[in-house]
Homo-oligomer: A and B are copies of this chain.
Amino acid sequence: MQQHDVVGIGNAIVDIIGRCDDGFLARHDRSKGSMQLVDAAEVAALYAAMGPGVEISGGSVANTMVGVASLGGRAAFIGKTAADQFGQIFRHDIRAAGVTFETPPAGVGSEPTGRSLILVTPDGQRTMNTFLGVSPQLSEAEIDATLISAARIVYLEGYLFDRPEAKAAFRTAARVAVGAGRQVALSLSDSFCVDRHRGAFLAFIRSSVDILIANEAEITALYQVGSFEAALAAARADTKLAALTRSEKGSVILSGASTPISIPAAPVPAVVDTTGAGDLYAAGLLYGISRGLDLGAAGRLGSLAAAHIITQIGARPGVSLAELARAAGLLG
């Protein structure tokens, strides 16, 4: 079997992206910039209220795997779709992007493929309303141990903790990776997700995680501290390697007792849609680490990929990130 640079495990989601003003978020009680889980009735009501949409495959870790492939890496994804049209879209797009994806769809009559209604405000910020559908019904049997054991890095999505079945699959994947001596990377996904699972995340980070990826809101939520500096100190003591992102302020990479590395954000002419910024930062970072780049170079690849994705609609890059990185002198 081919060895992959990164194998990702996460929710398989199709994004429905529409524009709205701040008033729409207020009327529908949405917290700007967050990801909120919604049930079937809520997603139907919100969809009926929102404007026209554009459908693009998404899912946080799935986006990251597409980013790794776009940078030239060998990426695989494990996640659950349904035998419906959204599932077809998801399966097509991730494979067409060059990512290995072999998880079979659920049988006819299952819950539908997961979707996220993403509301983009005029400032480019995205607010996500996710109906997970069949996505958490990823069984432990579908965690391909051979695939995981042969990958350099296994990347797990914090969102998987939101449902017990997916959480069990997540733990199985981590156990296989640790057993095979592979690196385990974790995204904290969202600050509300951290609030829901703080204790479990902390225990998992301390026992099994080699690379932690989080943004400022997520890391301060994890340690329940009021400043980024306090979160940084806590993460430095608690993790082997942590990449903490701060939007336009760039990112900081912590590696135990070593001096923290500050990575500037790459310049962005105009922000169109911030969907996928964190996912694509992770793609650059993990691709760089898997290929043995130094942490500063890996972080700069992350900044480049994140800067590109917010100049377009959706979280799947429409151009080759490898070409962008070569043009910027970040890849040879």
Contacts and interface: CB of A to CB of B under 8 A. Distances in A.
Interface residues of A, number: 28
Interface stretch (A92-100, A169-177, A300-308): A92-100
Q: Report the copy number of this chain in the oligomer.
A: 2
Contacts of A316: 52
A293 interface: no
A123 to B, nearest CB: 16
Interface stretch (A54-62, A180-188, A192-200, A205-213): A54-62
A52 B93 contact: yes
A47 interface: yes
A51 interface: yes
Interface stretch (A82-90, A153-161, A217-225, A250-258): A82-90
A19 interface: yes
A26 interface: no
What are the 8 closest A-B residue pairs judged by CB atoms, nearest first?
A55-B55, A85-B85, A52-B93, A52-B96, A51-B96, A52-B97, A54-B56, A85-B86
9 contacts: A16-B89, A51-B96, A52-B66, A52-B93, A52-B316, A54-B56, A84-B84, A85-B112, A313-B313
Interface of A: 16, 18-19, 47-48, 50-57, 66, 84-86, 89, 92-94, 96-97, 112, 313-314, 316, 318
